[in-house]
Amino acid sequence: MSEQRKKLLEVQDLQVTFGTHLHPFHAVKGVSFDIYEGETFGLVGESGSGKTTIGRAIIRINPVSGGQVLYRGERISGRISRELDRKVTRQIQMIFQDPMASLNERAKVDYIVSEGLYGRHIGEAERQEKVAKALADVGLLPEFASRFPHEFSGGQRQRIGIARSLIMDPDFIIADEPISALDVSIRAQVLNLMSQLQKERGLTYLFIAHDLSVVRFICDRIAVIHKGRLVELAESEELFAHPLHPYTRALLSAIPLPDPIAEKKKKLLVYDPSIHHYDQETPLWQEISPGHFLLASEREAAEWQREPSR
Amino acid sequence: METETILSVRDLDVKFTLRGQVLHAIRGISLDVHRGESLAIVGESGSGKSVFTKTFMGLLDSNGSVTAGEIRYNGQDLAGYTTDQQWRTIRGREIAMVMQDPMTSLNPLKTIGDQIEEAIVLHQGLKGAEAHAQVLKVLEEVGIDQPERRSKQYPHEFSGGMRQRVVIAIAVACRPKILICDEPTTALDVTIQAQILQLIKDLQKKYDLTTIYITHDLGVVANVADRIAVMYAGDIVEIGTCEEVFYDPKHPYTWALLSSLPQLGVKGEELYSIKGTPPNLFLEVKGDAFAPRNPHALKIDFVERPPYFEVSPTHKARTWLLDPRAPKVEPPEHIKHLREQGVNRHV
């Protein structure tokens, strides 16, 4: 990764803790990564790994209990000024997983899409124009504005979700499992739409998913997260070619192959955290090769690199 | 391969009445399910795959009914069953179902143990301590640690994958002959998905089950299916062994489904997606239902419904492209070499 590329978002030693002081639950335990302008950054892990929490912490839904988040070099976590807050809520948008649940079923598309514009002092005519444009941008007809969400199919609903984020003219979109709830044939449409929008508008994406096969197709770099810690981060092709951490390898082996013979021969790897002896040796977040980061103790790093990847 | 048919469907038609309109959900399906096989039924949402298998258990919504055809099982015609009393001899006992979402298919107010015991008492005729011992055995079988403690817990204390294991435990506790798995892993993580599929496979072997998988994701079934039936607009458009459907697909819709798998996407290029939308089944479908979305559609596709053309004794597809008079159309390049590609890409 060339160092000239501009960092859009810097996450530094981010920690998120839920629960009370007596019974704290550490959902995110010191995560650091950078997202460069114009790239698609994948965050992959299983349910409960903290991947969504990170996304929500960046967009300021979940409070941060340690570390900080910088956006264009400015701190946006914790207490920030009103103007910055307004700027950030416009420039960072989110697309949610389940288009059935994330749209207000009692509101018309017109309101759902333009909700973010209310309170931003724009006229009614301009608002309607923006709604029509946002709908057109995601391949929906302007007359859909007067309908309710239940009148749409899953793929169309996810397009409405995307239109709602586009209307704010954001620079950075956090897509939290945007296609997990969709049919395979519709997934392709939504992924294509996202890449097309990226090309047209120079958007930066944080793409959160549990399925590595999808992420490989769309992401430039991928970070793998397990139990609130990043375990590996690399460019997509590098990660697929040389996975080092046993958890990454387990995730890769779980991708279903559309190929009966290979699939029946495939050996499923299961990650067993008890192989680590972190009470005796401390794991370090280290750069193994340029752009390829790994969480491992020195002994492990050496050992894993010796093993052939699969 | 010697095969014995366990369930035989002939010319099945299912219709729903909605606001005075008739929706033709299943349009004349014939299918033989072989004893001991695992059959995958693949299609988009709305293709009728769930409706089709629900007719085997009498689980259609009240506004839907089988209007023609028969479902033969054990010398009986299930299509003629009307009362719950009749269905009770089939549901669970002969044919059991694992639903998609383990969050909603368990009762949140009863412990896991009680829910499994209910099935065991009803179907295996055990009581008291015996039934309880069986509960623990079943839990262990589906890979749940500390069954004694876990059986006293409620569904919310289980993770998604564990909950799906419980649902499978309940289904298997009835000792059915056929197990229908309706999108068993769609709500689950990839790693858990692989484990659940493996579990169903193991149980199938152990109890000599016949399994029917329903899914929209062709990628998932390569590992588990012996045969694959591809459904579109209430009809099976192609059926064959797993190898035949993946390596030598004949129907353009199967091509489209395979092409849209993200595993096959090439970075920087547009991922293939099927144009248009499925047909409106409130209207009568003329010709081949897939024709309007099919770039290879012939004139006759819009006029006459294609019959099945046999590719091999186990493989047939409903497309005019297989007619000897049809022009030769090759499947898309990137799925033609699926096998080599698949191997190269992921190793």
Taking one residue from A and the other from B, the number of pairs with CB-CB distance under 8 angstroms is 133
In chain B, which residues have their Cβ closer than 8 Å to the Cβ of A259?
222, 246, 338-339, 341-343
Number of residues assigned to chain B:
347
Q: Are residues B152 and B293 in the same domain?
A: no
| Lowest-pLDDT choice from A279-293, B115-129, B260-274 | B260-274
List the alpha helices (DSSP H) in B108-159.
112-124, 128-141, 147-150
pLDDT confidence of residue B1: 52
Q: Are residues B260 and B214 in the same domain?
A: no
pLDDT confidence of residue A125: 92
Structural domains counted in chain A: 1
Domain end call among B190, B225, B260? B225
Indicate whether A64 belongs to any domain. Answer: yes
Q: Are residues B53 and B152 in the same domain?
A: yes
Domain end call among B225, B240, B275? B225
Q: Are residues B216 and B276 in the same domain?
A: no
Q: Are residues B70 and B218 in the same domain?
A: yes
- B55: tokens are 């007719």
Q: Are residues B149 and B244 in the same domain?
A: no
Indicate whether A300 belongs to any domain. Answer: no
Q: Are residues B111 and B183 in the same domain?
A: yes
pLDDT reading at B346 higher than 60: no
CA distance B139 to B236: 36
Looking at per-residue confidence, does B328 or A83 come out higher?
A83
Residue B132: CB atoms within 10 A of its CB come to: 17
DSSP structure class, residue A208:
E
Q: What is the mean pLDDT of chain B?
A: 88
Q: Are residues B152 and B249 in the same domain?
A: no
Sheet holding A66-71, edge to edge: A24-36, A7-19, A66-71, A74-75
Indicate whether A1 belongs to any domain. Answer: no
Q: Which of A189, A259, A263 sits opposite B273 (nearest CB)?
A: A189
pLDDT digits (tens, 9 = 90+) for B51-110: 999 999 998 888 999 999 999 998 889 999 989 899 988 988 899 999 877 778 899 999
Residue contact B256–A185, C-beta within 8 A: yes
Q: Which residues contact residue B268 at a Cβ distance below 8 angstroms, ignoring those fewer than 6 apart? A: none
In chain A, which residues have their Cβ closer than 8 Å to the Cβ of B240?
none
Q: Are residues B163 and B300 in the same domain?
A: no
The ranges of chain A with pLDDT < 50 are: 1-2, 310
pLDDT digits (tens, 9 = 90+) for B150-170: 999 999 988 888 899 999 999
Indicate whether A295 belongs to any domain. Answer: no
Residue contact A185–B191, C-beta within 8 A: no
Residue B215's domain comprises 5-225
CA distance A296 to A288: 10
Residue contact A254–B191, C-beta within 8 A: yes
What is the tally of helices (H) and strands (E) in chain B? 12, 12
pLDDT confidence of residue B347: 38
Domain end call among B193, B225, B257? B225
pLDDT confidence of residue B101: 77
β-bridge partners, A205:
A40, A173
pLDDT confidence of residue B340: 59
pLDDT confidence of residue B343: 46
DSSP structure class, residue A144:
G
CA distance A25 to B172: 37
- Please give, rounded to a whole number of angstroms, the shortest distance from the CA of B195 to a CA of chain A: 9
Average pLDDT in the B13-38 region?
Answer: 92
Residue contact A184–B217, C-beta within 8 A: yes
Structural domains counted in chain B: 2
CA distance A71 to A172: 10
In chain A, which residues have their Cβ closer than 8 Å to the Cβ of B261?
184, 258
Q: Are residues B51 and B180 in the same domain?
A: yes
β-bridge partners, B38:
B211
Residue A76's domain comprises 7-233
pTM for this entry: 0.85
Q: Are residues B84 and B141 in the same domain?
A: yes
Phi then psi for A194, rounded to 5 degrees? -65, -40
What CATH number should be reported for the domain holding residue A91? 3.40.50.300
- Please give, rounded to a whole number of angstroms, the shortest distance from the CA of B221 to a CA of chain A: 8
Indicate whether A243 belongs to any domain. Answer: no
Indicate whether A298 belongs to any domain. Answer: no
Q: Are residues B214 and B238 in the same domain?
A: no
Strands A172-176 and A204-209: parallel
Q: Which of B159, B193, B261 sits opposite A258 (nearest CB)?
A: B261
In contact, A18 and A64? CB cutoff 8 Å: no
**Percent of chain B at pLDDT exceeding 90:** 48
Nearest to A152 by CA among A97, A196, A108, A93: A108
pLDDT confidence of residue B99: 84
Find the chain A residues whose C-beta atoms sit closer than 8 A to any C-beta of B: 46-48, 153-154, 183-189, 191-192, 195, 210-214, 216-217, 236, 240, 250-264, 266, 268, 270-271, 310
Which of A44, A177, A185, A186 would you mutate first to test chain B, the one with the most B CBs within 10 A? A185
Indicate whether A97 belongs to any domain. Answer: yes
Residue contact A217–B272, C-beta within 8 A: no
Nearest to A245 by CA among A231, A258, A265, A256: A231
Indicate whether A143 belongs to any domain. Answer: yes
What CATH number should be reported for the domain holding residue B263? 3.40.50.300
- B248: tokens are 């030598």
